[in-house]
Structure 1
Amino acid sequence: MHPSHPPSGRLTALGTQLIEIHHWLREELARLRASLDSADGGTVGLTRELRAHCVGFCAALDRHHTGEDGGAFHVLAEQAPELRPVLAELTADHRVVADLLRRIDALLAEAPDGRSVRAELDGLAALLESHFSYEERKLVAALNRLAGEPVELLGLTPPENGDTFERTETA
């Protein structure tokens, strides 16, 4: 398989794209958490826009982890069997993150104030920072040796100039 070009037209290794995706997800989560805080340090209720941003972020994160589990991790397990224990740990983390995302989704459906959602997002941020850092340390070099479509292997493609991530729709 030949390397593909992301939407920006530049050739970028998958490991580097993983870092770009993680960077974007970190920024989006930080922006989402900050948007829940009012200027006076209190916490505001969830507006329709904040709910939509939260749902969108959670969906993007879920697509990314689903893409890794069904794409990049499968390929890495075949090509680098020594990484299988690491991949198993990361997949277990993905299940914990998915549980958190379901809790956040349930909170959003209950129309809470921003405090309860913010608390869950704070926990998610702590977990993701540890998860992303570990994944990057353990997998970037191996991913950079792979070729493939980012959206197939990583669930998302890196944004161009701060744009949102694109994904392909499955029929």
Structure 2
Amino acid sequence: MSIPDGPGERLAALGDELIEIHTWLREELAGLRADVERQLDGRGERPRRLKAHCLSFCSALTRHHTGEDGGAFPALAGSFPELAPTIAKLEEDHELISVVQHDLERLLEGMAAEPDAAEVARVLSALDGLTAILESHFAFEERRIVTALNALSAEAGTAESLLGLPAPNGA
């Protein structure tokens, strides 16, 4: 990879940064699931800490999807009108993910100070559902828009302004 030195060039391509953000979100979700499994086995964090971890993940996911909806998707639609059906599908996914996410948050908010195995199993099931939807969504998004994101110039914006989060490596 050559070092960008002209106007409109960026150090890291947006599509590559999108993949980094998705990788980080996948890792965070896997860590959260492991925390819930430990809770189910009786070796986990206190429920309050588990709730905080989950709500932190959900907040990052919401920032990412809100950033895409308000930043990357309009930029892509302006530069690549042929992506309109793909963008519409991704926006529908975001709405579905938001519903699943809110259901998980409600489960966590209602979690007892000392949750029983059934309560923790419901949270684990909700996480599994969220994981399945996110994996499908991330894979589709990566297949369909990474190349177009990589083609956007630096004037389109930063990873944070277009994707809702900075790339985890600080690029």
TM bucket normalised to smaller? 0.7 to 0.9
- Find the counterpart in structure 2 of residue 125 from structure 1: 131
Mapped pair 1:152 → 2:148: no
Deviations for 1:75-111, whole angstroms, at most 9, x for unmatched residues? 1011100000000000000000000111111111111
- Aligned 8 A contact 2:63 2:164 in 1: yes
Where in structure 2 are the equivalents of 1:77-116 lying within 5 Å?
A: 77-112=77-112, 113-116=119-122
Q: Which runs of 5+ in 2 are unaligned?
A: 1-6, 113-118
Which stretch shifts more, 144-153 or 24-33?
144-153
Which stretch shifts more, 95-104 or 111-120?
111-120
Offset of 1:153 from its aligned partner?
A: 0.2
- Find the counterpart in structure 1 of residue 15 from structure 2: 15
Offset of 1:49 from its aligned partner?
A: 1.3
- Aligned 8 A contact 1:18 1:154 in 2: yes
Compared CA separation, residues 12 and 111, structure 1 to 2 (3 A)? same
- Aligned 8 A contact 1:44 1:114 in 2: no
Which stretch shifts more, 88-97 or 45-54?
45-54
What's the Cα RMSD here?
Answer: 2.1
Give the TM-score, by structure 1 length: 0.84
Structure with greater helix percent: 2
Identity of aligned residues (%): 50
Give the TM-score, by structure 2 length: 0.84
Compared CA separation, residues 39 and 95, structure 1 to 2 (3 A)? closer
SS of residue matched to 2:12:
coil
Number of residue pairs matched by the alignment:
155
SS of residue matched to 2:111:
coil
Q: Which runs of 4+ in 1 moved over 2 A?
A: 1-4, 38-46
